[in-house]
Amino acid sequence: MNDSTFIRCTYLAWGELPDAQRAIVHDQFADFHAALQADRTPEQAAEAFPPNVRQTAARAAKAVRAFEGAIGEKTGAPPTYVSLPQRRGTTFAVGIRSFTGSQTAADASNEVANALGDVLTALGAIEVDSVSMD
């Protein structure tokens, strides 16, 4: 596939968090997303998280920026909750959205999904997984 071929791309990471931590992590990702939307540097966006997570979050912010550059649109990493068929209740998720882009964008979406999953893991989420589609 050449880079000018347009395909459907998305990125999503999810994980299970204790009830008491879900709201905190949601707020942290909301601040991270807002910083990305406000064109803060990756390091500034990573300040939304505790110090031990910031390096991992800065890598995720850089991956988001690469994806945004590949599709020419701001996307960020919005937090949400999703229902998964194999689980009861809702699961914390970040980054769910679909886009159209090139193979470069598809590769970049995979990097974002993995990096966001790493942030969730660093925050203590369990059963963390991520997906990107093309």
Can you name the residues that pair with 82 across neighbouring β-strands?
A: 91
118 falls within a domain: yes
Structure confidence by residue, pLDDT tens digits, 33-83: 999 999 999 999 999 999 999 999 999 999 999 989 988 889 889 888 776
- Quick check: is 12 in a domain? yes
Q: In the 8-state DSSP scheme, what is residue 51?
A: G
In a domain, 30, yes or no: yes
* Domain-embedded: residue 13: yes
Q: What is the CATH number of the domain that holds 115?
A: 3.30.70
Is 121 a member of any domain? yes
What per-residue confidence (pLDDT) applies to 45? Answer: 97
- Structure tokens given for 47: 């300040």
pTM: 0.87
pLDDT computed for residue 102 by the predictor: 81
Percent of the chain with pLDDT over 70: 87
Query: Is the pLDDT reported for residue 94 higher than 60?
Result: yes
Q: What six digits make up the tokens of 74?
A: 């701001």
**pLDDT in the model for residue 117:** 93
Q: Which two tokens stand for residue 56?
A: 């991992």
If one counts the domains in the chain, the total is 1
pLDDT band at 84 (very low <50, low <70, confident <90, very high): low
Is 87 within the bounds of a domain? yes
2 assigned to some structural domain: no
1 domain-assigned: no
Q: What is the DSSP string of 66-108?
A: HHHHHHTS-----EEEE--TTSSS-EEEE---EEEE-HHHHHH
Containing domain of residue 83, as a range?
7-133
